[in-house]
């Protein structure tokens, strides 16, 4: 075992982690720990854009952006946070421009902007051009740009290190600690992939920036590595997760595969059609049609399929039609995603419409934080020194449904804020005691998983989890489907306890790490389903067929879910609490487009 000591440790080297590192490393001794090489983080897969009311192409302002974000999130957004994000968006884009990010330009040389779902002028009158982009490789450019700056600034990276535990001064798993006691972070425990060695990092401040958890589903746009590690690590230490029942299903995954075709395709003029060739979104969102927010478009697509207007031999997808666009325009603005259609489906987008169906895409929920990224351990109390930013966190700026291009924005705005706040805290805070045996719980867990002689395979349990989540907790949900998912998860947790990994070695044991990631996925799926079952209403990304309308009276509240170990068959139970939504300027209205 090796021990390290830093002022600030940042866990994750995607957009949020590296944006935080740029701020923190110039102010305090900082290390970044990442299970992937930084440039392999999922931020690099983001395609369509990052929005800010620059008004470079047409009239716009941050207040309209705030309104769109609040309405898009079906009023579950904390409005103070959305306002911060929309205001700071402009500097966030300009910061990246100054770092050298090659944005597409207008003929006058300004940063070009394009349309995206739910972004409108003057409170919903018409779509507005708000998303800044670099072809359909915006995330790739952001990640490379931030990495270059980190290298220039000599940021210290620990790559292919998996953080598997966080050490706090108090045990929060048995229930709340009195508000007057200061609970603080002492550091994290990590596993080095190359050697199998355990590393303990003591730190005054820790920032979690570990990204999303799309792998709880089978059909997903998310990379294999998006297993919600940071969320689950915090959860297991008694920290609640907020609004996890809200998962975004992106309308245009390649049918049968889930690989994403960016909403930019519709922003540039693409149209969704059913088997009758009808532009069906005209019926669901007469004003902004194909550019309605994702939850509405995904539901409309699933509904067309259910009502028998799906396409293909099994009538199980709809079509994204780009054939009316000029090939030169497609090549200039959507080169990568049209290549995906050719490579993975053998479809030529110049002349043929592309088969698409909703795919699990984005976790609106996560570790609850303040607008400075401080992690909440109850509705109001924070864990001193612990921060979270990016998709792992819930600020909450996305409420129950995130607007396209608001995530690349979120990671830049709140990554920066968390980096500044963590470094400021670390300059005055003490280093907290770390017990000698801080790594013992996770070492025991790893050894048990490795030592089981002949248990069930990890991949089989993961497949069964993903299948039940796709079947029972997807775009449409009911009490019956969610109860089925809940019961399946209990069974899967039992099976997981006696699972084994085939590779018993120490070096580069990815089999073992996938075993640990499956444990994270099971805990998170349990939280998603418990929150969804209790939320007897439909709002944003969460649609209950047995409660098809929004119920502000009972549910204009954030869910705060705690995982408590117990001796039930699954080994844990979920305790749910609720927290009011911060409303500043916009009173909830019915959401129409």
Residue whose CB is less far from ligand FAD, 24 or 406: 406
Choose the stretch contacting ligand FAD; rule: CB under 6 A; options: 386-394, 433-441, 465-473, 539-547. 386-394
Q: Does 405 bind ligand FAD (CB under 6 A)?
A: yes
Residues 225, 216: Cα–Cα separation, whole Å: 11
Has 41 been labeled as part of a binding site?
Answer: yes
Sign of the CA dihedral with 223 first, then 252, 249, and 489 last: negative
Binder to ligand FAD among 7, 25, 42, 243 (CB under 6 A)? Answer: 42
H helices within 60-186, ranges in order? Answer: 62-72, 79-99, 138-152
Residue 407 interacts with ligand FAD (CB under 6 A): yes or no? yes
CB 198 within 8 A of CB 338: no
Return the range that interacts with ligand FAD (CB under 6 A); candidates 42-50, 335-343, 350-358, 448-456. 42-50
Binding-site residue total for ligand FAD (CB under 6 A)?
A: 43
Residue (260 or 527) nearer to ligand FAD, CB: 260
Please answer whether residues 341 and 333 qualify as being in contact, where contact means their C-beta atoms are separated by less than 8 angstroms: no
Least Å distance, CB 303 to ligand FAD, is: 24
Nearest-CB residue for ligand FAD: 14
CA pair distance 304, 17, nearest whole angstrom: 40
Exactly one of 24, 25, 30, 43 binds ligand FAD (CB under 6 A); that residue is: 43
With beta carbons less than 8 A apart as the criterion, state whether 393 and 19 touch. no
Minimum CB separation from ligand FAD for residue 136, in Å?
8
Peptide bond into 525 cis (omega under 30): no
Q: What is the DSSP letter of 177?
A: P
Q: Is 12 annotated as a binding residue?
A: yes
Smallest distance, Å, CB 561 to ligand FAD?
Answer: 20
Q: Does 17 bind ligand FAD (CB under 6 A)?
A: yes
**What tokens appear for 300 in the block?**
């409309």
* CA–CA distance, 52 with 91 (Å, rounded to integer): 9
Q: Is residue 16 part of the contact set for ligand FAD (CB under 6 A)?
A: yes
CB closer to ligand FAD out of 333 and 544: 333
Rounded alpha-carbon distances, angstroms, from residue 174 to 86, 236, 285, 531, 562: 39, 11, 47, 20, 10
Calculate the CA 127 to chain-centre distance: 25
Instruction: Pick the closer one to ligand FAD by CB: 510 or 584.
Output: 510
408 binds ligand FAD (CB under 6 A): yes
- Binding site annotation covers 38? yes
In degrees and rounded to multiples of 5, residue 186 shows phi and psi of -115, -20
Which of 213/492 has CB closer to ligand FAD? 213
SS3 state at 524: helix
| Sole window of 15-23, 70-78, 169-177, 431-439 interacting with ligand FAD (rule: CB under 6 A) | 15-23
Phi and psi at residue 321, in whole multiples of 5°?
Answer: -100, 115
**CA–CA gap between residue 482 and residue 532 (Å, rounded):** 7
Q: Which stretch binds ligand FAD (CB under 6 A): 194-202, 221-229, 321-329, 421-429?
A: 221-229
* Closer Cβ to ligand FAD, 281 or 363, answer by number: 363
Handedness of CA 383, 386, 391, 395 (dihedral sign): positive
Residue 23, both tokens: 């701020």
4 is in an annotated binding site: no
- Of 172, 240, 78, 232, the closest CA to residue 576 belongs to 240
Residue closer to ligand FAD by CB (options 349, 366) is 366
**Which residues ranging from 316 to 375 are in contact with ligand FAD (CB under 6 A)?**
362
Judged by beta carbon, residue 310 or residue 368, the one nearer ligand FAD is 368
396 binds ligand FAD (CB under 6 A): no
Among 267, 390, 515, 541, contact with ligand FAD (rule: CB under 6 A): 390
Is residue 422 within 8 A of residue 16, CB to CB? The reply is no
Q: How far is the CB of 229 from ligand FAD (least distance, A)?
A: 3
Strand-pairing partners, residue 272, are 320
Instruction: State which of positions 543-582 bind ligand FAD (CB under 6 A).
Output: none
Contact assessment for residue 305 and residue 318, using Cβ atoms and an 8 Å cutoff? yes
Which lies closer to ligand FAD via its Cβ, residue 161 or residue 284? 161
Choices 31-39, 314-322, 427-435, 474-482; region in contact with ligand FAD by CB under 6 A:
31-39
Give the number of other Cβ atoms within 10 Å of residue 584's Cβ. Answer: 12
Site string for ligand FAD, 251-270 (x = CB under 6 A): ---------x-x--------
Binding residue per annotation — 36? yes
To the question of whether residue 538 is assigned a binding role by annotation, the answer is no
Residue 504 assigned ligand-binding role = no
CA distances from 58 to 86, 130, 131, 214 (A): 17, 9, 12, 35
Active site residue 294: yes
204 vs 239, 420, 434, CA distance in Å?
18, 14, 11
Say if residues 404 and 118 touch (Cβ distance below 8 Å).
Answer: yes
Listed in sequence order, the DSSP H helices in 155-310 are: 229-236, 264-267, 281-284, 294-306
Closest C-alpha to 373, from 408, 402, 412: 412
Binder among 73, 127, 187, 211 for ligand FAD (CB under 6 A)? 211
| Unique residue bearing structure tokens 């054939």 | 323
- Asked whether residue 144 is marked as a ligand-binding residue, the answer is no
Instruction: Judge whether 34 is annotated as a binding position.
Output: yes
Which tokens belong to 186? 């002492």
The span from the CA of 525 to the CA of 539, in Å, is 19
Judged by CB under 6 A, the stretch of 41-49, 417-425, 543-551, 585-593 that binds ligand FAD is 41-49
Binding residues are: 12-17, 34-49, 229, 250, 262, 361, 391, 402, 407-408
Binding residues for substrate are: 250, 262, 361, 402
Binding residues for FAD are: 12-17, 34-49, 229, 391, 407-408
Q: Catalytic residue positions?
A: 294
Residues that bind ligand FAD (CB under 6 A): 11-17, 33-36, 38, 41-43, 45-50, 138-139, 162-163, 209-212, 221-222, 229, 260, 262, 362, 390-392, 405-408, 411
């Amino acid at each position: 075992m090796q021990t390290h000591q830093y002022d600030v440790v940042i866990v994750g080297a995607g957009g949020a982690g590296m944006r935080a590192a740029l701020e923190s490393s110039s102010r305090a001794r900082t290390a970044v720990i990442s299970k992937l090489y930084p440039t392999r983080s999922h931020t690099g897969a983001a395609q369509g854009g990052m929005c800010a009311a620059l008004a470079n192409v047409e009239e716009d302002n941050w207040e309209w952006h705030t309104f769109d974000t609040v309405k898009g999130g079906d009023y579950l957004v904390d409005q103070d946070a959305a306002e911060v994000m929309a205001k700071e968006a402009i500097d966030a884009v300009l910061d990246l421009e100054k770092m050298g990010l090659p944005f597409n330009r207008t003929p006058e040389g300004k940063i070009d902007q394009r349309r995206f779902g739910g972004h409108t002028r003057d409170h919903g009158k018409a779509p507005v051009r708000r998303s800044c982009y670099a072809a359909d490789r915006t995330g790739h450019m952001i990640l490379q740009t931030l990495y270059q700056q980190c290298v220039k600034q000599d940021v210290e990276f620990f790559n292919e290190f998996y953080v598997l535990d966080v050490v706090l001064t108090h045990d929060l798993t048995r229930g709340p600690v009195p508000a007057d006691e200061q609970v603080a972070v002492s550091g994290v425990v990590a596993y080095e992939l190359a050697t199998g060695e355990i590393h303990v990092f003591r730190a005054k401040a820790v920032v979690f920036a570990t990204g999303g958890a799309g792998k709880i589903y089978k059909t997903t746009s998310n990379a294999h590595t998006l297993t919600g590690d940071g969320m689950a690590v915090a959860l297991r230490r008694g920290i609640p997760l907020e609004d996890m029942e809200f998962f975004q299903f992106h309308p245009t995954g390649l049918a049968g595969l889930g690989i994403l075709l960016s909403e930019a395709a519709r922003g540039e003029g693409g149209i969704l059609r059913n088997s009758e060739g009808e532009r069906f979104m005209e019926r669901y969102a007469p004003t902004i049609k194909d550019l309605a927010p994702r939850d509405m478009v995904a539901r409309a697509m699933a509904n067309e399929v259910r009502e028998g207007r799906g396409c293909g031999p099994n009538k199980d997808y709809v079509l994204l039609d780009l054939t009316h666009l000029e090939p030169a325009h497609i090549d200039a603005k959507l080169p990568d995603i049209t290549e995906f259609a050719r490579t993975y489906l053998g479809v030529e987008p110049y002349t043929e419409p592309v088969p698409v169906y909703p795919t699990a895409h984005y976790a609106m929920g996560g570790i609850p934080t303040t607008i400075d990224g401080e992690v909440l351990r109850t509705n109001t109390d924070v864990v001193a020194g612990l921060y979270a930013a990016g998709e792992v966190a819930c600020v909450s700026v996305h409420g129950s449904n995130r607007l396209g291009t608001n995530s690349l924005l979120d990671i830049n705005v709140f990554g920066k804020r968390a980096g500044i706040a963590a470094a400021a805290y670390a300059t005055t805070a003490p280093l907290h005691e770390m017990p000698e045996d801080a790594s013992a719980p996770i070492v025991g867990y790893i050894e048990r998983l490795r030592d089981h002689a002949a248990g069930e395979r990890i991949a089989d349990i993961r497949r069964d989890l993903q299948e039940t989540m796709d079947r029972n907790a997807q775009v449409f949900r009911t009490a019956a489907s969610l109860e089925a998912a809940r019961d399946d998860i209990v069974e899967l947790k039992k099976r997981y306890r006696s699972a084994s990994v085939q590779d018993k070695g120490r070096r580069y044991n990815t089999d073992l790490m996938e075993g640990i990631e499956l444990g994270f996925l099971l805990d998170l799926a349990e939280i998603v389903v418990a929150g969804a079952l209790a939320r007897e209403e439909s709002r944003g990304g969460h649609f209950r067929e047995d409660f098809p309308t929004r119920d502000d009276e009972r549910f204009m509240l954030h869910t705060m879910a705690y995982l408590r170990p117990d001796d039930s068959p699954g080994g844990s139970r979920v305790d749910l609490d609720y927290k009011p939504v911060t409303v500043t300027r916009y009173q909830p209205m019915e959401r129409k487009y």
